[in-house]
Chain A
C-alpha cells in the first residue's frame, strides 16, 4: 500500500515509541491526528464532504438516483459504495493497482452500513415494492497518509449528513407510476445519520495497539482489526486484516479501545457538522 520502506532500526524506534505510549509525532496510543471536515463543496452532488486527516485526503460525493427495489427487500432503499483510488494519491494506484484496496474499503463500508439501524433505509423507499432511492456514495482518494479506512468512513458519514434528497411524490395510476418532482430547490429531506457508524482501525504494534496509525506505523504492523462503531458504542461489523495473528485477550483490549475512540469520534464529528451547518461557513475548498 505504501512506498515507505522502513529499516529495522526505524521499525524498532516506532515499536519502542508505541510501547512507551508516546508516538513519533507526540501522540498517545489512542489519539487521532488533526482532522478537517468540510461538507457541501461539490455542486453537482446531492451531498459531498472532504476530510483531511493529517496527510490523508478524501473526497466523497453522494448522488441519488431512482431505481427499482430489490425484490428481496421491497420496502427499503439502498446504498452503493465505490472507492476510486486515483493515481494522484500514489503511482502504485495507476491502472488497476488500487482496485484491491478500493474493493476492500468498499466491502468494509457496505458491511458497516448493512445493519438496519445505520441509516433509516425505509425513508429511502419512494414507493414500496416499486421504486426506491439508490445512493451512490463515491469516494475519491486524493492523498494517502495512513489510516484510509477511518478517514473514508468519516468522510462518508459527513457526506450523508450533508445529503439533500429531493422530495418526490409517486402515485400509482392504472397506466403505471406517476412521478412528481417538486421544482422548489429547497424542498428536500435530510437523512438521519445519528446511527451511522464510523470505522476505527486498531493496529497491533509490538505488545500494544494504536489507533489512527500513520503510514510508517502501518508498515510496522502485522495485524489490525477494523471495526464499525456507532455513537452508542455498538459494533456494526468487524474484521481482522493483515498477515499476522492475535491472541484473544489482545483482541478484547483492541475492541475496547476502538469502542471508546469510536464513540468519541462520532460525537465530535456530529457536533462539528451541526456547527458548520448552523454557521453556514463559507467553503474553504482545496486551496488553503
Chain B
C-alpha cells in the first residue's frame, strides 16, 4: 500500500471498538418498520444548496438526513499535461470520504472504493455535459462526503450535477440519482448505512435476492447514465428495482429544479 511519507501515519490498520460490540445489524427477515421510522418506499428528505464554496466556479451541498456531501467544480481550465490533450473537453472527478465520515476511519489517500466511486460519478455525469463546447480544457469536480449514512453514490452524483449547473457549465440535462436496497421481497428505498451494510456485508446468505441498486437518470432525456448493483439479485428483481429507482429519480427532479431556479431568481433580484 502506498503511504504518504510527508505525514505521520497511524498504524497500518486499526479497528473501531464498535466492531467488537454486539452486532448492530438489522433482522431483515422480520423487519416491519425501518429504524428511522420511514416506510419502505419513502425517500429521505432532500436538502440542497448551491454556491457554498466561494472560490469555486460552482459548488453545492447536499443533505439526506445523515448523509451529507459537498462538491466544488473548477474550470474550464487549461489541460497542463501534454499527453492529455484532446479537442473534446475532459471531465475529472475526485470522490473522497472525509476521514471521519464513516464508522471506520478512512485514510486520507483515496482507497480503491473511492476510486471506483469517482469513476462511477464521472460516468454518470459525462453524458450530461456538453464537452464539445470546451475544447482543450478540463473541468474538475471534487466531492467530499462529510457524513456517510448510505447512498453516498447517489448523493454525490446529484450534488455534482448541481455544482456543474451552478458553475455555468453547459449541460444537456441535470442528473438525478437514487438507490434501493433489496432483501427478498423487501425493497428499501434510499437505504441508510445500517440497512446497506446489513444486506451487503452479511457473510451468510440472507435470501436468494439480497443487494442494492443505484441508478442515475437524465430526466428530460429519459436516459439512464449510471447503473450499479451489488449483491446477488435475480434478473426480474433487478429489473423491477431499477424501474423503481427511475421513478424515484423523477420524484426527486423537481427538488433539484427548484433549488436552481430559486437561486437564480435570487441572483436576478439582487441584480435589479
Direct contact of A and B (CB under 8 A): yes
Select the stretch in A157-165, A179-187, A230-238 that faces chain B.
A230-238
Assembled-state Cα–Cα distance A252/B240 (Å): 10
**By the criterion CB–CB under 8 Å, are B229 and A237 in contact?**
yes
**By the criterion CB–CB under 8 Å, are A240 and B246 in contact?**
no
B229 to chain A: closest residue by CB: A238
**By the criterion CB–CB under 8 Å, are B123 and A240 in contact?**
yes
Interface size for B (C-beta < 8 A) is 44
**By the criterion CB–CB under 8 Å, are B233 and A245 in contact?**
no
A104 within 8 A of B: yes
Select the stretch in A25-33, A52-60, A109-117, A273-281 that faces chain B.
A109-117
**By the criterion CB–CB under 8 Å, are B203 and A251 in contact?**
no
14 A-B pairs whose Cβ atoms sit less than 8 Å apart in the complex? A104-B116, A110-B112, A111-B230, A114-B200, A114-B230, A116-B204, A233-B234, A235-B232, A236-B233, A237-B228, A241-B123, A245-B224, A248-B224, A251-B224
Contact of B228 among A223, A240, A259 (CB under 8 A): A240
Assembled-state Cα–Cα distance A96/B225 (Å): 28
Contact of B227 among A71, A116, A240 (CB under 8 A): A240
Known: A73-B203, A235-B229, A246-B223. 11 other contacts (CB 8 A): A103-B116, A107-B112, A114-B230, A116-B202, A121-B203, A233-B235, A234-B234, A237-B229, A240-B123, A244-B127, A255-B235
**By the criterion CB–CB under 8 Å, are A235 and B235 in contact?**
yes
Residues of A within 8 A of B232 (CB): 115, 117, 230, 234-236
Assembled-state Cα–Cα distance A69/B65 (Å): 34
B29 within 8 A of A: no
Residues of A within 8 A of B229 (CB): 235, 237-239
Contact residue range for chain A?
Answer: 35 or more
**By the criterion CB–CB under 8 Å, are A71 and B127 in contact?**
no
A37 within 8 A of B: no
**By the criterion CB–CB under 8 Å, are B222 and A247 in contact?**
yes
A72 to chain B: closest residue by CB: B19
Assembled-state Cα–Cα distance A32/B38 (Å): 47
B238 to chain A: closest residue by CB: A235
Assembled-state Cα–Cα distance A107/B239 (Å): 23
Query: From residue A250, how far is it (CB to closest CB) to chain B in Å?
Result: 9
**By the criterion CB–CB under 8 Å, are A225 and B227 in contact?**
yes
Assembled-state Cα–Cα distance A73/B128 (Å): 40
Assembled-state Cα–Cα distance A259/B209 (Å): 15
Assembled-state Cα–Cα distance A252/B119 (Å): 23
- On A, residues with C-beta under 8 Å from B are 71-73, 75-76, 103-104, 106-107, 110-111, 114-117, 121-122, 223, 225, 230, 233-248, 251-252, 255-256, 259
Residues of B within 8 A of A252 (CB): 239, 242
Contact flag A245-B228 (CB < 8 Å), given A71-B19, A75-B203, A116-B203? no
B94 within 8 A of A: no
**By the criterion CB–CB under 8 Å, are A256 and B235 in contact?**
yes
Assembled-state Cα–Cα distance A252/B227 (Å): 12
Query: From residue A197, how far is it (CB to closest CB) to chain B in Å?
Result: 9
Residues of B within 8 A of A256 (CB): 235
Binary interface profile of B, 144-168, with partner A (CB < 8 Å = 1, else 0)?
A: 0000000000000000000000000
Binary interface profile of B, 207-232, with partner A (CB < 8 Å = 1, else 0)?
A: 01111000000100111111111111
Assembled-state Cα–Cα distance A104/B113 (Å): 10
**By the criterion CB–CB under 8 Å, are A248 and B242 in contact?**
yes
**By the criterion CB–CB under 8 Å, are A245 and B203 in contact?**
no
B205 within 8 A of A: yes
B108 within 8 A of A: no
Residues of A within 8 A of B210 (CB): 115
Assembled-state Cα–Cα distance A240/B200 (Å): 20
**By the criterion CB–CB under 8 Å, are B230 and A237 in contact?**
yes
Residues of A within 8 A of B251 (CB): none
